Amino acid sequence: MRQQPNKLQPFFENLNFERKDNTMVINFGPQHPSAHGQLRLVLELQGEQVVKAYPDIGYLHRGVEKMGENMIYNEFLPTTDRLDYIASTSNNYAFALAVERLLGIEDKVPRRAKVIRTMLLEINRVISHLFFVATHALDVGAMSIFLYAFREREFAMDLMEDYCGARLTHAAVRIGGVPLDLPKNWISDLSSFLNILLEQVKLYEDLLTENRIWKMRLEEVGVVTPEDALSWGCTGPMLRGSGIAYDIRKEEPYELYSELNFDIPVSDRNDSYGRYRLYMEEMKESVKILRQLISMYPKTTPEIMAHAPQYISAPKEEIMTQNYALMQHFVLVTQGMRPPKGTVYAPTESPKGELGFYIVSEGEPYAYRMKVRAPSFFHTGLLQDLLVGTYIADVVTIIGSTNIVFGEVDR
Amino acid sequence: MDGYIIATIIKAALILGVISALAGFGTFIERKILAFIQRRLGPMHVGPYGVLQIAADGIKLFTKEDFIPSGANKIVFMVAPIITAATAFIALAAVPLLPEFTLPFTDIVVRPIVSDMNIGILFVIAMMGVGLYGPLLAGMAQENKWGIIGSARTAIQFLSYEVVTGLSLLAPIMMVGSLSLIDFNTYQASGVGSWIIWSQPVAFVLFLISGFAETNRTPFDLLENEAEVISGYATEYSGMRWGMFFIGEYANMITIGFLAAIIFLGGFNPLWIIPGGLAIILKVAFFFFLMLWVRAAWPHIRPDQLMWLCWKVLMPLAVLNILVTGIVMMV
């Protein structure tokens, strides 16, 4: 006799799975070693072949969007670190950009702040892509690549630590600029890191790209046709891996991307192997961008925060010397800035795809509605189409290849 | 006759002790070598250079709670790891580990083989085949779906690669005309030029590949591949029961190393200035290192690709190799 679902043994029997053949319903996660955090996949298996897949999310839900409606804008910024925790600054920046557009001060951000922000964004892209290569290789079984890539990721995180003091949850961007100028020697550290990175990326490519087993495991696995990619709302490497050259850095440039010279790598292979190649190429493009930014930095003036007294506190010296600036600062800290009424959606190209914050403001210091458009969420939905007909071993490859992070799926 | 029985018991006990100690030490070596290949240090804290890590692991394994899941078939669950460990050691009974030597200060000649039976190779292969029951029963007994997938993988992988192992060894057996490993050794006694690897390179490669599959090493590490099936057949095992699977697996690696060294690489014949005993230990150590090296370098393959490799590539090659060997011998 089958037990009915109850509080202690809930779920997955009440999903409509066909149980008439020799199929087995199995819980892949939320505590499976390669479930990338808290993904729960309910798989119906015929032997090792997946007949039906049902991705179940919500195991990391913290109510980040609701928290955003109960915090003043500056308070919420460090919370965004916890979305895509692999590349925190991308989230900080996406939020800051949305608020800046809401306030109408996007153009007032000083040039030095823009250079620093773009640098941080690209370093975060490198950190995230190294993490992808590492975990993807580990899932497929190439254990050494995992440790090789993690060393370079440590170097990149050292750079972040030197800048903002944190390694994982950076909170390195402020609404209206950046909190700090670059420390001494940071630029030279960065350029020596870039040299190491290029060498090491070549090492990974030597180990993987022409490796026969690696190719056997990745080629023709996880094929996302361009139509599928569009209809499921894929962005980032998932979309570019299907032959559609769409990158928000080119389509709707923000920060300095319109001035920078870089390419958007595209692969029309549609499979995991193509996406792996894309990630490798994007790291090289990031190196190119960072090198251009290094030469831009010395040509800027030292201001790092926008001048908008209504919304942004004045610099420290003014607060200490001028009465009015101090009062404004007091109001901004205790009550928070009051943006004008309106709605804003600001898309950015995070390492994983289109990350945007949708904010509805009623003129209060608190957002009326906050919505995060996180790329991984859409890629998780894709899994239910992508996994059918594959083997368990491919399931692991495909989850790795979609590069989903559950901080931003569950929010 | 009494002397023979006592000598055999002593030899068996020695092999059991030494090989299980080596299997334990092998885990340390594996962690160190992998660490050096992967730009890290490996175990460093327990004892000088981390050598006592084995002791720490042993204490942990022995003192861990002996846990049997409530839904499991208790008897089979308890017996399965013993099958793996036991068959791994029984297989070593027919393997000559070192050359003959005289005990110091006596005139007793010791032959370091428990039993020189005339079907040596067949016995070793058969015992490693029986070893399949360990993971198979373990996976089915524990009432865990990952365990079932793991044991299904065990069945297909071991059964298929048994065939390749057997067929690849058939060609050298035809050349030597005996199944005893001692005869293999004497066949290659006249130096490096007489090693069977030169006359049977295809068989050597086939044997090595299927050896990787039979000992469950990367790239054929599918039985307990963590990324896919948690721990496969060993998902619900912990403590010393899990440890027995582990020892069995490492003992199997050593056995495969010895087989490859004796059948293809001249066994324990002296090599230039190196005495025979040292020569075979070096050869086995090389194969052990090779397994770790491959583990560090390569990803692993999918079960269906494993089957493709076995039945569509390796087996036809093995049969072809036997045919060619036969024709050459006839002509």
pLDDT tens string A178-225: 888 888 889 999 999 999 999 999 988 988 888 888 888 888 888 888
Ramachandran angles phi, psi of A351, nearest 5°: -55, -25
State the pLDDT at residue A195.
92
What is the least distance, in Å, from the CA of B210 to any CA of chain A?
A: 16
What is the least distance, in Å, from the CA of A136 to any CA of chain B?
A: 10
Percentage above 70 pLDDT, chain A: 95
Q: Which residues contact B103 (CB under 8 A, 6 or more apart)?
A: B110
Question: Which residue of B229, B300, B304 is in closest CB contact with A141?
Answer: B300
**What would the two tokens of residue B94 be?**
């027919």
B295 interface with A at CB cutoff 8 Å: yes
State the pLDDT at residue A155.
92
Does residue B96 or residue B223 have the better pLDDT? Answer: B96
What is the least distance, in Å, from the CA of A30 to any CA of chain B?
A: 12
In this complex, do B149 and A140 lie within 8 Å of one another by their Cβ atoms? Answer: no
State the pLDDT at residue A20.
60
| pLDDT at A81 exceeding the cut of 50 | yes
CB atoms within 10 A of CB A321: 10
Residues B259 and B124 sit within 8 Å (Cβ to Cβ): yes
Chain B residues within an 8 Å CB radius of A214:
299
For residue B284, give its domain range.
2-330
Size of interface A-B (CB pairs under 8 A): 78
State the pLDDT at residue B2.
66
Q: Please give the average per-residue pLDDT across A83-109, as a whole number.
A: 89
State the pLDDT at residue A133.
92
Question: Which residue of A32, A392, A394 is in closest CB contact with B149?
Answer: A392
Question: Which residue of A32, A141, A211 is in closest CB contact with B221?
Answer: A141
Chain A residues within an 8 Å CB radius of B303:
48, 391, 393
* Closest-CA residue of chain B to A217: B301
Q: Please give the Cα distance from B134 to B138 (Å, whole number).
A: 6
Q: Please give the Cα distance from A341 to A162 (Å, whole number).
A: 38
Q: What type of residue is B292? A: L
Q: What angle separates helix B133-141 from helix B145-176, to the nearest 10 degrees?
A: 170
CB atoms within 10 A of CB A22: 8
Contacting B residues, span 12-41, partner chain A, CB-CB under 8 Å: 34, 37-40
| Complex-level ipTM beyond the 0.95 threshold | no
* Closest-CA residue of chain A to B304: A391
Chain A residues within an 8 Å CB radius of B30:
none
Q: Which residues of A186-214 are buried (b: 16+ CB within 10 A; e: fewer)?
A: bbebbeebbeebeebbeebbebbeebebb
What is the least distance, in Å, from the CA of A311 to any CA of chain B?
A: 49
Task: Burial-class residue A47 by CB neighbours within 10 Å (0-12, 13-18, 19+).
Answer: middle
Beta strand A369-373 pairing with B101-102? unpaired
Region of B131 (left: φ > 0; alpha: ψ -120 to 50; beta: rest) is alpha
In this complex, do B228 and A217 lie within 8 Å of one another by their Cβ atoms? Answer: no
Question: Which residue of A24, A148, A216 is in closest CB contact with B305?
Answer: A216
Chain A residues within an 8 Å CB radius of B145:
24, 26
Q: Please give the Cα distance from A35 to A388 (Å, whole number).
A: 17
Beta strand B109-110 pairing with A342-350? unpaired
Q: Please give the Cα distance from A144 to A155 (Å, whole number).
A: 17
CB atoms within 10 A of CB A271: 20
State the pLDDT at residue A286.
92
What is the least distance, in Å, from the CA of A279 to any CA of chain B?
A: 19
B155 interface with A at CB cutoff 8 Å: no
**What would the two tokens of residue A83 be?**
């979305």
Residues A291 and A276 sit within 8 Å (Cβ to Cβ): no
In this complex, do A26 and B145 lie within 8 Å of one another by their Cβ atoms? Answer: yes
Average pLDDT, chain B: 85
In this complex, do B305 and A142 lie within 8 Å of one another by their Cβ atoms? Answer: no
Instruction: Give the SS3 label for residue A346.
Output: strand
Chain B residues within an 8 Å CB radius of A24:
145, 148
Q: Please give the Cα distance from A374 to A353 (Å, whole number).
A: 8
What is the least distance, in Å, from the CA of B316 to any CA of chain A?
A: 21
pLDDT tens string B288-326: 899 888 888 888 888 888 888 889 999 999 999 999 988
Q: What type of residue is B68? A: I
B156 interface with A at CB cutoff 8 Å: no
Q: What angle separates helix B201-214 from helix B145-176, to the nearest 10 degrees?
A: 160
CB atoms within 10 A of CB A21: 9
Nearest to A163 by CA among A131, A133, A193: A193
Q: Tell me the residues of A at the B interface, defined by beta carbons under 8 Å apart.
A: 24, 26, 32-34, 45, 47-48, 137-144, 147-148, 151, 207, 211, 213-214, 216-217, 391-396
Percentage above 90 pLDDT, chain A: 21
DSSP label of B232: G
Q: Please give the Cα distance from A89 to A86 (Å, whole number).
A: 9
| pLDDT at B167 exceeding the cut of 70 | yes
State the pLDDT at residue A1.
45
B232 interface with A at CB cutoff 8 Å: no
pLDDT tens string A1-54: 455 555 555 455 444 444 566 778 888 878 887 777 788 888 888 888 888 888
| pTM metric for this prediction | 0.88
Give the residue carrying structure tokens 């059991």: B16
Give the residue carrying structure tokens 């919500």: A58
Structure confidence at residue A125 as a pLDDT band (50, 70, 90): very high
Chain A residues within an 8 Å CB radius of B230:
32-33
Q: Please give the Cα distance from A384 to A399 (Å, whole number).
A: 11
Q: Please give the average per-residue pLDDT across B85-97, as a whole number.
A: 86
pLDDT tens string B179-236: 888 888 888 888 777 888 888 888 899 999 988 888 888 788 777 676 677 777 888 8
Detail the DSSP E strand segments found in chain B. Answer: 101-102, 109-110
Nearest to B166 by CA among B206, B216, B215: B206
Q: Please give the average per-residue pLDDT across B90-111, as a whole number.
A: 79
B115 interface with A at CB cutoff 8 Å: no
In this complex, do A393 and B152 lie within 8 Å of one another by their Cβ atoms? Answer: no
Give which of A50, A140, A145 to mutate to test B binding, by max B Cβ within 10 Å: A140
Q: Which residues contact A283 (CB under 8 A, 6 or more apart)?
A: A125, A126, A129, A130, A197, A201
* Closest-CA residue of chain B to A43: B145
Does residue B241 or residue B101 have the better pLDDT? Answer: B241
Q: Residue ranges of the alpha helices (H) in A104-185?
A: 111-140, 143-164
Chain B residues within an 8 Å CB radius of A211:
298-299
Q: Please give the average per-residue pLDDT across A136-145, as a whole number.
A: 87
Question: Which residue of A33, A213, A395 is in closest CB contact with B298?
Answer: A213
Handedness of CA B294, B297, B300, B305 (dihedral sign): negative
In this complex, do A392 and B228 lie within 8 Å of one another by their Cβ atoms? Answer: yes
In this complex, do A148 and B38 lie within 8 Å of one another by their Cβ atoms? Answer: yes
* Closest-CA residue of chain A to B153: A48
Give which of B228, B229, B231 to mutate to test A binding, by max A Cβ within 10 Å: B228
B226 interface with A at CB cutoff 8 Å: yes
- How many separate domains does chain B show? 1
Q: Please give the Cα distance from A282 to A279 (Å, whole number).
A: 5
Q: Please give the Cα distance from B132 to A278 (Å, whole number).
A: 42
Residues A222 and A398 sit within 8 Å (Cβ to Cβ): yes
* Closest-CA residue of chain A to B298: A142
pLDDT tens string A300-319: 888 888 888 888 888 888 88
Question: Which residue of A142, A144, A217 is in closest CB contact with B302?
Answer: A217
What is the least distance, in Å, from the CA of A16 to any CA of chain B?
A: 20
Q: Please give the average per-residue pLDDT across A383-391, as a whole number.
A: 88
| pLDDT at B20 exceeding the cut of 80 | yes
